[in-house]
A and B are shown apart, each in its own frame.
Chain A
C-alpha cells in the first residue's frame, strides 16, 4: 500500500509542478496570460456565460449560464480541468469527461476569471500534499468524510443518486487538487465547504482518507465497486443460487442405477 501511495504520489507531484504558479491571481500573472485567457473565454465560454462573464439569463428569468464574476480561479480549474466545462449538451448535470483544454489553457482561463473579482484561488501543492498526512490525520479526515461527504458520495466514494437525474459523482481517480477545489467552490449540486467550515488542513486530511481507502487492496476478494448490499444480493442470486441449483440439477440427473456399458 505504501508503495502504491509513493508511486501514485510521484506521478502527481510531476503534475502539480507543471501547473504552477499555484495561485493564478498572483501579481506575477502576466497580462499576456490574461489576454490569452480572455481570448479562450470569448471563443469557448462566452456564448453561455456572456462576453464579460456576467452570465446570461433567459426570458423567464432563469439561468442560461451563470455569472462567473467572483467564482475564483479554483472554480475554473475544477470545472474546466475535469472536463465538466464546456458542457457538451445541456442536462441535469455536467458530467466529468476528457478535458477540452490543456493545462496551460486552463491556467490562462483561470487567470482571466480570477482577474475579474476576488475568489477562491487554486490550492497550493502544500494544501493537497496528502502523503504528508499522519495516521491521526487520516483518521481525522475519515471522521470529516463520514460526517460531511458519505451521505452523497458513498463511504468509499463510489458516488450516489440525487433528485431529478443529478448525482454525486464517484471520487475514483479524481486528483487531490480537484477534490480540494470541489470542497472549496461547491460545484453544481455540492455545498461549499469554505475554509472556515473545514480548514485547509482538514481538507487535506479528507483527501488523505479518500486516497487511503481507494488505494488499499480489496480485502476479502472481488468487490462490488463499493455499492454495498445490492451487489451482494445480485451475487447471491446469480452466482450463488445459480451455481447451486445447477449442482442440484446435476445430482438429480444422475440416477442410482449403475450404467452398464454395452
Chain B
C-alpha cells in the first residue's frame, strides 16, 4: 500500500480535538501509555477468545444485576403476596421471594432481565471453565504464567460462590433447598461444623439473616473481588503477552498477530455485542429458574428434581454417590457421608487445579519460559490426565442428575448410583488410557505426514499393473509447524550415591521423580530427526521413479480431479 495519508493533527477533526486532548494529556499523562498499548499485538486464534466469553458475560451480569437491585428486596420479613400470579395469591412469604415474583410478573421487562442475568451467570462459569480447559490442554499456564493460572482458579471459585449466592436470593423452595444443602455441608465440618452454621446463618437454619448476608456478598463483596482479579488477570496477560501457536516466524521471543487498535478493539467489541445479544436472546426465549413454580421456601417442604445450578452439580453428585458413613466418637458426630464428598469433592478439584503447574514443573524439571503453546497431542500424559479429570467431573455431573436421568430414560436410580460409584474410579482410568493412545496415534500421523508427505490424489499405475497413490512433500511452512514442538528429553538416572558411596540427599525423592518423569514421557513419539527429514525429501522430492514431475505449485487433487490451489 503506497497511499499517502494526512497526519491526524492536520485533519479537520484533529485540529478541533487537539486542544481538549492536549488539556487532558497535560493532566493525566496517558498519551505515552496509550500510544504503546493501543498498538499492542495479540495473536489470532479462535480458542484465545473463550475467556472473552466469560469477560463479556460478566459485563452483562453487572448491567442486568444493577437493574435487578432496583426492585429486589433482600429481606426475610414475612409478607402476604397479592400480586399478579394467582396460584400463590394470599400466601405468606418472605419479602425476598415476593419481590422476585414482582420482578417476574409485575415489573415491565423484569422477567427478561432476570432470565438474562441467570443465563449470563450460567454462561459466565461455563466460559471460565472452557477457557481454563484451553489453557490447560495447550500448556499455556507454564512459566511465566503460573500466577495468572492461580488467579484464574480463584476466579472460577469466586464465580461459583457468586453464582450460588445469587441462586439462593429468590428464597423460593428450590433455592432454600440448595441453601439447606450448603447448611448440611457446613455442619458436616468435624467439631466446629455446628458453630460455623450458627456463625453463618446467625442462629439456627434458616434464621432471618442469611438472605441479607448473601445479598451483600452477591452484589458487593464477591463482584468486587472478581473485578479486581479480572483486572490483575488482564494486566498480567498484557505484561506476559499472549501465548501463540507455533508456526513460521513465531518464536518464544515475539508475538505475531494484529494490533489492539483497530483490529482487536473491533473484534473484541463486536464479540461483546454478540455475547450480550445472545444472552438476551436466551433470556427472551428460554425459561430459566421459574421461581413461581416452586413456591416460597418452607423448611418442611421439598420438591423432586431439586438440583443446584450446573456448576454445583459436581458437588451434588459426589454427595449422592457417597455411601452413608457416619461415626460418633469423642462425643462428636463425624459425618463422613457429607464432609468427604461435599468438602472433599470441590476441595480436590481446586487443590489439584492450583498445584498442577507446580506439580508438572516438578515432574518435567522444565524451568524455561514458554510463550509458544503445545498441541495437546504433543503432551500426551498431560492431555490424558486432563481428560481423565474431566471424566471424573462428568461422573459427578451425571450423579448429580441421577433422578432426572432415571425418570427420563426409565432407569433404576440405584443402578445408576452403583455404576457411578465404581465409575468414578474406573472411567477416568479408561479415559486416560484411550486419550493417551489417541494422542500417540495423532503424533504418528503427524510424523507420517512429515516423512511421507501428503496424499496428492494422483493415482499411478506401474508397468506390472499395480496402483499406488502419489505422495508429495508438505509445504515447508506446514512441515515447520508440525515439528515446532520440543524433542522428548533424554532421561537420566537419578544420582543415588556420591563418589564415596554415601546416599545422596533427597535420593529417594529424586528416584521417585525420575520414575514419574519416565512415565510422563513414556510412549511419546519423538519428532523426526533432521536426517529423517532429509531422507524423506530425497525420496519425495526427485521423481524417484515417477514419470512426471508434479511441479512447484502442485498442491494435490480435489475430489473433482481439479488441481487444488490452497
Which residues in chain B, 15-66, are within 8 Å of chain A measured between CB atoms? 44-50, 52-53
Query: Looking at the complex, which one of B86, B126, B275, B414 makes contact with A237 (CB distance below 8 Å)?
Result: B126
Cross-chain contact B86 with A212 (CB below 8 angstroms): yes
Query: Looking at the complex, which one of A142, A159, A227, A253 makes contact with B295 (CB distance below 8 Å)?
Result: A142
Give every chain A residue within 8 A of B294 (Cβ-Cβ). 155
Cross-chain contact B89 with A248 (CB below 8 angstroms): no
Is B475 interfacial (CB-CB < 8 Å)? Answer: no
Interface string of A90-109 (1 = CB under 8 A from B): 00100000000000000000
Cross-chain contact B305 with A228 (CB below 8 angstroms): yes
Number of interface residues of B (CB under 8 A): 77
A147, A163, A233, A236: residue with the most chain B Cβ atoms closer than 10 Å? A236
Considering the complex, give the chain A residue whose CB is closest to the CB of B275.
Answer: A244
Which residues in chain A, 144-173, are within 8 Å of chain B measured between CB atoms? 146-147, 150-156, 158-165, 167-168
- Count of chain A to chain B residue pairs whose CB atoms are closer than 8 Å in the complex: 212
The A contact surface, by secondary structure, is helix
Considering the complex, give the chain B residue whose CB is closest to the CB of A165.
Answer: B412
Query: Looking at the complex, which one of A162, A220, A236 makes contact with B310 (CB distance below 8 Å)?
Result: A236
Is B407 interfacial (CB-CB < 8 Å)? Answer: yes
Q: How far is the CA of A158 from the CA of B327 in the complex (A)?
A: 37
Give every chain B residue within 8 A of A245 (Cβ-Cβ). 46, 50, 53, 130
Cross-chain contact B298 with A244 (CB below 8 angstroms): no
Cross-chain contact B414 with A163 (CB below 8 angstroms): yes
Cross-chain contact B87 with A142 (CB below 8 angstroms): yes
Is A45 interfacial (CB-CB < 8 Å)? Answer: no
Q: Chain A nearest CB: distance from B368 CB in Å?
A: 28
Is B401 interfacial (CB-CB < 8 Å)? Answer: yes
Interface string of A1-21 (1 = CB under 8 A from B): 000000000000000000000
Cross-chain contact A165 with B411 (CB below 8 angstroms): yes
Cross-chain contact B49 with A222 (CB below 8 angstroms): no
Is B111 interfacial (CB-CB < 8 Å)? Answer: yes
Give every chain A residue within 8 A of B309 (Cβ-Cβ). 229, 232-233
Q: How far is the CA of A29 from the CA of B292 in the complex (A)?
A: 46
Cross-chain contact B115 with A220 (CB below 8 angstroms): yes
Give every chain B residue within 8 A of A174 (Cβ-Cβ). none
Interface string of B50-84 (1 = CB under 8 A from A): 10110000000000000000000000000000000
Q: How far is the CA of A160 from the CA of B46 in the complex (A)?
A: 41
Question: Which one of A36-44, A79-87, A131-139, A191-199 is at the interface?
Answer: A131-139
Cross-chain contact A155 with B295 (CB below 8 angstroms): yes
Is B278 interfacial (CB-CB < 8 Å)? Answer: yes
Considering the complex, give the chain A residue whose CB is closest to the CB of B258.
Answer: A256
Give every chain B residue within 8 A of A150 (Cβ-Cβ). 173, 301-304
Is A63 interfacial (CB-CB < 8 Å)? Answer: no
Give every chain B residue within 8 A of A164 (Cβ-Cβ). 412-414
Is B390 interfacial (CB-CB < 8 Å)? Answer: no
Q: Chain A nearest CB: distance from B320 CB in Å?
A: 11
Could you list some 15 contacts between A and B, CB below 8 A?
Answer: A159-B407, A160-B305, A160-B407, A168-B304, A219-B105, A226-B293, A230-B307, A232-B288, A235-B282, A235-B288, A237-B126, A239-B282, A240-B126, A240-B279, A251-B271
Q: Interface of A with B (CB < 8 Å)? A: 92, 135-136, 138-139, 142-143, 146-147, 150-156, 158-165, 167-168, 209, 212-213, 216, 218-224, 226-233, 235-237, 239-241, 243-245, 247-253, 255-256
Q: Interface of B with A (CB < 8 Å)? A: 44-50, 52-53, 86-91, 104-105, 111, 115, 118-119, 122-123, 126-127, 130, 173-174, 258, 263, 267, 270-271, 274-275, 278-279, 282, 284-290, 292-295, 298, 300-310, 313, 397, 400-404, 406-408, 410-415
